Amino acid sequence: MSLFIKKPLEQLMAQEGDSSKGLKRTLGVGNLIALGIGAIIGAGLFVRTADAAASAAGPAVMVSFIVAAVGCAFAGLCYAEFASMIPIAGSAYAYAYATMGEFMAWIIGWALVLEYALASATVSIAWSEYLNNLLGGVIPYELCHSPFEAALDGTTGIINLPALFILVILTLVLIKGTQESASLNAVIVFVKVAIVLIFIVIGWGFINEANYTPFMIPETTPGHEGWNVHGWGGVLGGAGIVFFAFIGFDAVSTAAQEAKNPKRDMPIGILGSLLVCTILYVLFSHVLTGVANWQDFKIAGKEASVAYAIKTYMPGYEWLGTLVTVAILAGFSSVILVMLMGQSRVFYSMSKDGLVPKVFSELHPKFRTPFKSNALLFIFVGLFAGFVPGSVAGDLTSFGTLFAFVLVCVGIWVLRVKNPEAVRPFKTPLVPLVPILGMVVCSAMIFSLGQDTLVSAAVWMAIGLVIYFTYSKKNSVLRKG
């Protein structure tokens, strides 16, 4: 039987309709938009903005955010069509199964582990660092770092307990129920968006118009000799940097089987969260580069760029710097929550298809959540978070995300050709132009990742192939008829 055997759309829709035994439909359009914002706005807003301004775009970083958002929108439009057509758990994995066959579905499902699981581990490690900073460094070095890290005085880490703490709390929330998870996420989203808006409103009064001149970095600026670090090239280079601040909106699609009215609400949730975050990003970057000159961020600030700008140029508002740290912690928490939810739903869908063990699709008798999958994910993610340095995951998360984007864009084009009569509550405009642009932009970003990242990704995919041919192919429900 062919490696590219496809799951019929009718079978997928039957799976969507069986709600009495499946995941519980509890999410409204507001919950879905909040999930998207929760996954998107993490520390990227507070870190990537200054980084892109200092290294490539200057004050024009606000234009870089718009360019990056347009690139995300190509993939987002494709996700929206699929999510309205096939409103089941699994996101890009499920879409690939219907359009490109089982083998490609497995490849994309395995790649999504890089996006969701490794992102959860990496972000939980960063959460630990910011918590310790907020508490004034009271947590002993040994208990907030991995055994592979050492301080300047020679102290070696043992285990990262704060990272494990936030993971176990959020895992228990996910097991309790999707509505409870969505409610907690909504509270976190409110807190961090409120703090972002407070910074924008207060910071607007401290903008120095002179900081916007020149708007783009001049070609003659020392250290900016490359084509992509000055002028319009710098705007594009900045877009490549800030693109990663948008990662996460696709996680909304993993919750399709828990949406009350997925055919209407999924496109609104995906594209709505992307739009809200883009507006916030543009306003935030405009204020930040207006309050402090972009050249300040070459040396000062960096990760603490916002706190630096507040302390240096906004006298009397030092308390806002503390609030920003709270917003970063809140942002990290919601990112971890949504990413863990997304990973468990992808595995749930793969398990129902027989490609991973049944334990990943077993639902709690009361809460109707994949509780065993959540527990196993905690162990897997916790091993990384507690005992591995955060830098190890690196750009692998970005690879998994961009790879999924490319295949979703391909899938929309394929399905329009192969199954043009299918009911599409939401239609991606300008097909095949939009999917092609999405493929081109995302593929270019994949190849711009470092060689070490690409080699690591290749090793990860090779491990996935071994698992597919030794277990998944033999246990495929579709192959068994």
User: Domains along the chain?
Assistant: 21-474 (1.20.1740.10)
* Residue 151 binned pLDDT confidence (cut-offs 50, 70, 90): confident
Confidence (pLDDT) at 102: 92
pLDDT at 17: 53
Task: Judge whether 20 and 360 are in contact, CB under 8 Å.
Answer: no
pLDDT of residue 232: 87
Q: What is the mean pLDDT of residues 350-369?
A: 89
Contact (Cβ atoms closer than 8 angstroms) between residue 231 and residue 219: yes
**Better-predicted residue by pLDDT, 126 or 358:** 358
pLDDT of 33 over the 90 cut = no
In tens, the pLDDT along 68-111 reads 888 888 988 998 888 888 777 667 888 888 888 899 999 988 98
Calculate the average pLDDT of the chain: 84
At 1, the pLDDT band (50, 70, 90 cuts) reads low
Ranges 10-14, 173-177, 341-345: which has the least confidence: 10-14
Residue 378: pLDDT over 90: yes
CA dist., res. 75 & res. 438, Å (int): 6
3-state secondary structure of 430: coil
Model confidence at 388, pLDDT cuts 50, 70, 90, reads: confident
| Residue 171 confidence (pLDDT) above 90 | yes
Residues 461 and 466: their CA atoms lie apart, in Å, by: 9
- Cβ-contact 192, 276 below 8 angstroms: no
In tens, the pLDDT along 240-263 reads 778 767 877 777 777 777 788 877
The predicted pLDDT at position 395 comes to 61
For residue 407, the model assigns a pLDDT of 87
* Confidence class for position 227, pLDDT limits 50, 70, 90: confident
Question: What average pLDDT does range 384-400 have in this prediction?
Answer: 74
In our burial notation (b when 16+ CB lie closer than 10 A, e otherwise), range 275-305 reads bbbbebbbbbbbbbbbbbbbebbeebbebbb
280-300: per-residue pLDDT in tens? 999 999 999 999 998 888 876
Q: What is the pTM of this model?
A: 0.79
User: What band does 391 get if pLDDT is binned at 50, 70 and 90?
Assistant: low
- Tell me how far CA of residue 108 lies from CA of 7, 302, 343, in angstroms: 15, 34, 12
Assess whether pLDDT exceeds 70 at residue 304: no
Q: What is the mean pLDDT of residues 443-455?
A: 77
pLDDT exceeds 80 at position 393: no
- The sign of the dihedral angle between the CA atoms of 300, 304, 305, 306 is negative
pLDDT class for 473, splitting at 50, 70, 90?
A: very high
CB 455 within 8 A of CB 339: no
